[in-house]
Structure 1
Amino acid sequence: MSTQKAPLLSRFRLSSLVVVLIGVAFLVMSLQLPIGTFQTPGAGMWPMLVSIALIVAAVFLLITEPDGADYEPLTRRTLISVLGFLWIAAFVVMFQAVGFTFASLIFSVVWLRFLARESWKFTLIASPVFTIAFVLIFSVALGVPVPHDPVLSFITGGRF
């Protein structure tokens, strides 16, 4: 019964190290924004906290896990997670260009139909419902400032 030691830089450890580096990069970028306080957070507060959590989690995995044997292997289905992340990034750019309402509708349609593989019927019914919910929650109830939104401006007579 020989116990085989895991290589120092296995693919699993290398991916954890890459996550640490990404976390550090995001932390550096978040520190360039105003942090504020917990009572009045600035634009960099949440990115900073998420970056720190990402770094801590990846370092923890580097220290405690010798290899990735206990984890699900990467498959073609893993690509859906990567595409979902990229689609969220595209949503941020899109809502600055075309407004929150229209971007939310497009985001929902693409997410439900192509990433979640829902039927067209469900997608076309649920997307407007989700969009209305997004607008009511973020723009109306929480008062989150969003870039100029032509749809909201039209519906509310310029109030948003």
Structure 2
Amino acid sequence: MTTPPGGAHRAGSPGGQAAAGAAPAAADSVPATIHDLEEAVHAVEAAEHEGRPPAAGPVANVVIAAAVVLLGIAALIGSGRLGLGSARVPDSGTWPLLVSILVVVLGIGLIAVARKTSDAERFTRTSWLVLAGLATMVVFVLVIEVIGFEIPAALLSFVWLRFLGGEGWRTSIVVSLGVVAAFYVIFVAALSVPIPHLF
């Protein structure tokens, strides 16, 4: 039996063993490196989305978009009741009408992309804060015609800052009063906007 030339040297010499082991080591290092990168990416994504509620899903997206459309339609009806006026002489409902049309268009757009979007979040306990904010806005609209905007606006700002936003008592009080003062100076004193006010 003959040995191939240099065969013993390649199999038994240190150089031959190193050459034989180099290829498997290099082959094993590539998957390990890719695996480490994938783990790092997943860790970053998990950190970014930590504490965020899961996505709502296509059905919930359609329901939300339909609610937006209905809200816009209701606002359109309310705008008509306020009086639309004309292009040259706009009435109280002119700007609400334009905003209502925009809301309806946006709602229809949300329906069109309901299957593709994942921005909407599933309803959780924190979602009640949004409903609470909406309820305070409804109360604000109902009482502003009776007692003016100053007190309702101050209370609304305070509730949003202190109870919905978690700000401190001092910050909530100071900012609420500052917002009302700035609103009064700009829209009532400077621009003479006809909004209900006490002073």
Interval of TM-score (by shorter of Structure 1 and Structure 2): 0.7 to 0.9
Contact 1:10 1:67 in 2 (8 A): no
Partner of 2:182: 133
Match of 1:34 among 83, 89, 93: 83
Query: Greater helix percent: which structure?
Result: 2
Contact 1:12 1:67 in 2 (8 A): no
RMSD over aligned Cα atoms: 2.2
In structure 2, relative to structure 1, the CA distance for the partners of 1:67 and 1:109 (3 Å cut) is same
Partner of 2:101: 52
User: TM-score scaled to structure 1, two decimals?
Assistant: 0.75
The structural deviation recorded for 1:38 is: 4.3
The structural deviation recorded for 1:72 is: 3.1
Q: Which runs of 5+ in 2 are unaligned?
A: 1-57
Partner of 2:74: 25
The structural deviation recorded for 1:35 is: 1.1
Please say if 1:64 is aligned against 2:113: yes
Amino acid aligned to 1:100? F
Contact 1:13 1:67 in 2 (8 A): no
In structure 2, relative to structure 1, the CA distance for the partners of 1:62 and 1:113 (3 Å cut) is same
Structure 1 residues 76-155: aligned runs within 5 Å: 76-147=125-196, 149=198, 152=199
Number of aligned residue pairs: give it. Answer: 142
Identical amino acids, percent of aligned pairs: 34
Which deviates more, 30-39 or 52-61? 30-39
Whole-Å separation in 2 of the counterparts to 1:14 and 1:148: 38
Give a deviation string over 1:53-75, Cα, whole Å, max 9, x none. 11111111212332553433333
The DSSP-based 3-state class of the residue aligned with 1:10 is helix
Q: Which runs of 5+ in 1 are unaligned?
A: 1-8, 153-160
